[in-house]
Amino acid sequence: MWAIKNASFALSLLFLYLFVTADASPATYNPICSKSELDILSCSSASLITNSCCVESPGGLLIVAQLYNFNPGLGPGDSWTMHGLWPDFCNGSYPSSCDSSRAYTDIPAALKTYKQYQLLDYMTEWWRNDPIVTTENGTDADLWAHEFGKHGTCMSTLHPDCYPGYQPELELVDFYSTSVRLFKNYPTSNFLAACDIIPSNTTTYDLADIERCLANATGGFTPHMGCSRNTGYLNEVWYYGHLRGRIDGGTFEGTNSTFKSTCPATGIKYPPKLNSNGY
């Protein structure tokens, strides 16, 4: 009789469990990241056996990409502007457009839904589309959508399964706010000016001097420098790093570029912007 009662009790518990979990969906699953998991550095051996909601994997080599557009002069003053935040594989190759179901199109509306008005204002001023470099024809907002669709959907810690009580497009807030946060950590114009590398219509610069300057400003790590083809105008910088923790709140730790510069060794042009307002 005791065995029968216990079997009946166990069966009741099983039915209760099935009833409670019947409506559960992957979007409500919340992996709780421990402190030790959030301390794992992407691209480390430990990242391979850590919950991918807690560390970026397999795209653990992150790139903070910036633009310099002198004609017509996008963005404030002679400052560099945002291009994007990209997750490369640890060997330098990269994934692309990992989830077509999250290729969101109206980014401003999504950010307004979550009352991210200051974030949107900052992006409007500093995240400008230069189609020649970005290859994205369209508005600034089209570039924002392109960047998340191509790169943000490949970030493991931004997957909807990694959010408790996930709501549609919630991960956009983390993607864009982190992109802005990391952009602010790398004020390229200030770094270069400290080395007397300033926009000029008469002076040209050597690649080695630019790379040395930015490496000294960022802990000894050499970024990728990009120049326009055939003309030698400086127009891109990519800062490489690994991330300790999730995209939201993670710590970016620099490393060297894996991609060869597209700039000439000498005679690099870095002119003032023709229109400092960019509008």
pLDDT tens for 48-66 read 999 999 999 999 999 999 9
In a domain, 199, yes or no: yes
The C-alpha torsion from 85 through 104 and 277 to 178, rounded to 10°, is: -30
**Cα separation, 221 vs 177, whole angstroms:** 24
Q: What is the pLDDT of residue 112?
A: 98
**Cα separation, 82 vs 273, whole angstroms:** 16
Query: Is residue 148 within 8 Å of residue 175, measured between CB atoms?
Result: yes
pTM: 0.87
Whole-angstrom CA distances from 53 to 30, 136, 157, 199 are: 9, 30, 4, 42
Task: Pick the catalytic residue from 37, 136, 146, 151.
Answer: 151
**Tell me: the pLDDT tens digits for 148-173?**
999 999 999 999 999 988 999 999 99
CATH of the domain at 150: 3.90.730.10
Task: Pick the catalytic residue from 147, 169, 211, 236.
Answer: 147
Q: What is the mean pLDDT of residues 116-129?
A: 98
Task: Reply yes or no on whether 236 is catalytic.
Answer: no
In a domain, 56, yes or no: yes
**Mean pLDDT of all residues belonging to the chain:** 89
**Tell me: the pLDDT tens digits for 224-278?**
999 999 899 999 999 999 999 999 999 999 999 999 999 999 999 999 999 754 3
What residues have CB less than 8 Å from 249, skipping those under 6 apart? none
Residue 22 has pLDDT above 90, yes or no: no
Query: Is residue 55 within 8 Å of residue 37, measured between CB atoms?
Result: yes
Instruction: Name the domain count of the chain.
Output: 1
In a domain, 277, yes or no: no
In a domain, 28, yes or no: no
Task: Reply yes or no on whether 151 is catalytic.
Answer: yes
Tallying the residues shown for the chain, one arrives at 279
Whole-angstrom CA distances from 206 to 109, 217, 236 are: 44, 17, 15
What residues have CB less than 8 Å from 24, skipping those under 6 apart? none
In a domain, 4, yes or no: no
Q: What is the pLDDT of residue 13?
A: 36
Query: Is residue 62 within 8 Å of residue 185, measured between CB atoms?
Result: no
Q: What is the pLDDT of residue 165?
A: 87
**76 φψ region: left (φ > 0), alpha (ψ -120 to 50), beta (else):** beta
| Position 177, amino acid | S
In a domain, 6, yes or no: no
User: Which residue in 192, 160, 170 sits closest to 116, CA to CA?
Assistant: 170
Query: Is residue 79 within 8 Å of residue 86, measured between CB atoms?
Result: no
In a domain, 30, yes or no: no
In a domain, 218, yes or no: yes
Domain extent for 106: 35-269
User: 3-state DSSP call for residue 68?
Assistant: coil
Q: What is the mean pLDDT of residues 2-9?
A: 40
pLDDT band, residue 31 (cuts 50/70/90): low
pLDDT band, residue 30 (cuts 50/70/90): very low
**Cα separation, 87 vs 64, whole angstroms:** 9
Task: Reply yes or no on whether 242 is catalytic.
Answer: no
Task: Pick the catalytic residue from 56, 83, 171, 236.
Answer: 83
Whole-angstrom CA distances from 189 to 198, 210, 240 are: 8, 11, 18
